[in-house]
Amino acid sequence: MHSLLLPRTLLASAAALLLNAASAAPAPQQAPFSFDQAPGHLPKNVIPVNYDVSIVPDVDKRTLRGKETVELLFREASATIQFNAIDMRFQQVRFDGKPVKSTVIDAKRQIVSVTLPKPAAPGNHTLTLAYTAKIETGPRGLFAQPFVKPDGSKDILLSTQFEATDARRMFPCWDEPAFRSTFQLTTTTPAKWVSISNMPVTKRTVKGDTATTSFARSPKMPSYLIELTSGDMASISTKAGNTDINVWAVRGQEQNGAVALSNARQILLDYNEYFDHPFPLPKLDAIAVPGGFQGAMENWGAITYNDQTLLLTPASTIDNRQLVFSIEAHEMAHQWFGDLVTMGWWDDIWLNESFASWLTAKETEMRNPTWHVREQEDGGKEAAMRVDARIDSKPVHNPVIDELAPENGADGLIIYNKGQAVLRMLEAYIGPDTFRTGIRAYMKDRAYSNATSVDLWNALSKASGSDIGALAHLWINQPGFPIVSVAATCDAAGARTIQLTQQRFLLQGSDTAHQHWNVPLRLRIGADAQPQSLLFTEPGQRVAAGRCDQALSINAGADGFFRTAYDDATLHTNAQQFRSLPAGDRIALLDDQWAQVEQGTQPLASYLSLVAAMGDDPNERAWNQIIEALSTVEQAERGTPGHAAYLAYASKLLKPVATRLGWQPAADETAGVQRLRRSIIGRLGAWGDQEIVAQARQRFAAFLKDRQSITPDEQGMILTIVAQNADAATFEQLHAVAKGAANETEVRRYYPILMRVRDPQLAAQAAAIALSPEIPAQAEVLRLGLVFGLNDANPQLSWQTFTTNVDRLTASNPGNRPNVLAKSTPGVYWSSVPLDKMSEWIKAHLDAGMTSTLEDNLAYARFRLDEKARLVQAANQITGG
């Protein structure tokens, strides 16, 4: 599943809500997958082989009627059958055609127990039943999604979201990933609708105003990957090898899927070759759902996407196009990692998500090299490292006791981004060809079955001739990561020897467990040398490292998931030669120095000296890192006497690159340089650069007369600067632009801009707009982000609006409400509201079981407040503020 916040920075998905608290010590090494030993709550003495499911939804009543036949294999004699269901009523429950003794529903455990008149003999038997269930209003189970068409008319469609435990809302099933079965679906819906599922349509019969659609039987698969979408939709199609590829959208919008269709064809061909295992289903559908959920879901052969992550219009930006490619590559990677081979239990969800994220970056880099995705990956890695540097962080792999418990919520940055970074580090260490050989063997061995981490490590170990399991175990099974300290000594001839030590890197607290990692280093001596692999295993390990007057990186290309602390002399040499270092090495140095500033172990001046050394070099990722760091200090300085002096200082650091890039793009500019221009100008505008504000106003005035005068890529930056400096008349002009949005792409661009106004009275109007009917039904999930967006300039208004309307703001995705309260709320309002007041309010609204998660995030908020005070003091010493 791809859950959306920023491109290639993937946040928690429904699947990631399945990790519980971790101890500091690494978990014991797993065993290879065994069905009998796979965790879960359902007994394995009776297992499903084939399902036949027929449903008749009643959209108006939000209910459905279903009939189901399940062929069962009794592995031993038993008088009891257990499976999962929720919010269902059963009728006509029959076993081998005869009534059963009893059917008992345990609503809390979501388990149904069917008792037979007498034990059934081992072998094949049949269970049949009829049932009624609910159609959900949020993205879980079978849900109804209302939306507004481009012509303003209202409509509705049905779609599904089953990961992790919600297939049981649409049909009774063995809803655990180890139970792989075949499925044959039939549905009856309005005749004007089409229905789409994992397999091709085999029969469609129209009777009056309804149509009954049947689909071919699927291969063996877990229940959470079943998909069904029904609505007034149309498609465009192509073919990749023997596979039919279709992009489905609300009728009239299907042509907006042309780029996605082309992407899908190329990606599928590339993945067929990479895995050496062609996509096994006869067709692959990409289904654009208008709202309902963020991101996408990898249902086998029928991937569902929020339509804003699949469809492109003339209003779309290059960022939109890159996001579409990225999410398609991620979900299509799941067709192998997750669908063809499925984790045995939810503790190994990283086998799905980390690998999909890793392969996405690889595919994107290959097909779009000018996007510099490897450098951009660093942003996602840094986000994960920030989470993983907390004392309460959790490992990538962690046992799940109760998949239904809300406290299972772990940060998706660990599941997606840390796991991806560890895989990238391992690939760099053993080499990409060897890594691919291992992946191909893993797919061949585990196809149409399940796996644990050990199955993967065994395949990579065999391919590489090294014990990859022993290396990977500590990175996957214990939380955190090390900071590797480098102490250099030089002999009389200038030859350098380095001594390496490590300890866990923590932003706060201490590592009482004294954790240890075997660290794959990539050693580069000098600015131009090729990096060499080195495994750091022993405390005090000594390595010859060239001459003392040469730059040194032990994390060349920023491939490693660790921090580096160089001794003063080596850091000074690296700073002197900073401009000549490869981009990845510069990025790693900036990342590590800023992290140590936040930790309080390095002075702010040491980081700023590297920033000054950047000059006007237009490296996007480096400057994005710098802008984020400078902005952190600026936010800390707000309301202090030193704020103005700091703004002048920080603006001076950005000015050289702003001057070099100017306002007008050159003909041969990459997308990254264009984004950098927008980031730099946008930040200077936010900091009150009057020349930039005047330029933005001038361009906005032209935009009001001619909407083609500003490209879609530049609209967000220019209109945001205007909004931040808006008076009442300008705000009304911006509001009119938002109300006149031609499509949802523009809705999602223009309405967040309104929230950036600084004037309190205008911000109050913006808050009312965020809650108004102007936001279309399919963009309902946008409201929460709009209210959070008010916090930057009007924190008290944002808090009041959020707390007063929390039920409405979380209603569109009720499954995510616990995370919104326990994680997002402290993350947004940590400096806006006294923490005791915030804690009291959250606890009054928080679901049971999330208290420890809340306390962890409040502890981090206290760290942020301490950091804020340190940064103000350090900045004032530099600027004289």
Residue 746 annotated as binding?
no
Taking alpha carbons only, the member of 555, 648, 649, 554 closest to residue 611 is 649
Q: In 631-765, which ranges are E strands?
A: none
Burial class from Cβ neighbours inside 10 Å (0-12, 13-18, 19+) for residue 36 reads exposed
* Interatomic CA distance for residues 40 and 845, integer angstroms: 30
* Amino acid found at 396: V
Residue 353 annotated as binding?
yes
Q: Please state whether beta strands 123-134 and 63-74 pair in parallel, antiparallel, or not at all (unpaired).
A: antiparallel
- The residues near 444 (Cβ < 8 Å, ≥ 6 apart) are 276, 277
Q: In 320-446, which ranges are E strands?
A: 341-343
* Interatomic CA distance for residues 845 and 806, integer angstroms: 9
Q: Which of 136, 331, 637, 867 is catalytic?
A: 331
DSSP 781-794: THHHHHHHHGGGT-
* Interatomic CA distance for residues 619 and 616, integer angstroms: 9
* Interatomic CA distance for residues 240 and 279, integer angstroms: 10
- Count of C-beta atoms within a 10 Å radius of residue 52: 18
Q: Which stretch of DSSP H or E encloses residue 724?
A: helix 712-724
User: Phi/psi at 505 (nearest 5 deg)?
Assistant: -90, 120
Which tokens is 751 given?
Answer: 């309405």
Order of strands across the sheet with 302-306? 233-240, 243-250, 283-289, 302-306, 296-297
User: Phi/psi at 403 (nearest 5 deg)?
Assistant: -70, -10
* Interatomic CA distance for residues 577 and 688, integer angstroms: 33
How far from 4 is each of 8, 56, 595, CA to CA, in Å?
A: 9, 32, 25
Are the beta carbons of 165 and 175 closer than 8 angstroms? yes
Half-sphere exposure of 49 (CA within 13 A, CB side): 12
- The residues near 233 (Cβ < 8 Å, ≥ 6 apart) are 157, 193, 194, 196, 248, 249, 250, 251, 254, 287
DSSP 420-438: HHHHHHHHHHH-HHHHHHH
- The residues near 550 (Cβ < 8 Å, ≥ 6 apart) are 496, 525, 526, 573
* Interatomic CA distance for residues 582 and 528, integer angstroms: 8
Taking alpha carbons only, the member of 59, 49, 176, 155 closest to residue 109 is 176
* Amino acid found at 582: P
Q: Please state whether beta strands 482-490 and 563-566 pair in parallel, antiparallel, or not at all (unpaired).
A: parallel
DSSP 135: P
How far from 292 is each of 163, 250, 289, 683, CA to CA, in Å?
A: 14, 14, 7, 33
Taking alpha carbons only, the member of 813, 22, 111, 88 closest to residue 404 is 111
* Interatomic CA distance for residues 717 and 704, integer angstroms: 15
* Interatomic CA distance for residues 415 and 16, integer angstroms: 7
Residue 334 annotated as binding?
yes
DSSP 656: H
620 is catalytic: no
Taking alpha carbons only, the member of 275, 190, 194, 286 closest to residue 237 is 286
* Interatomic CA distance for residues 702 and 119, integer angstroms: 80
Are the beta carbons of 820 and 810 closer than 8 angstroms? yes
* Amino acid found at 220: K
Residues with active-site annotation: 331
Binding-site residue positions for Zn(2+):
330, 334, 353
Binding-site residue positions:
330, 334, 353
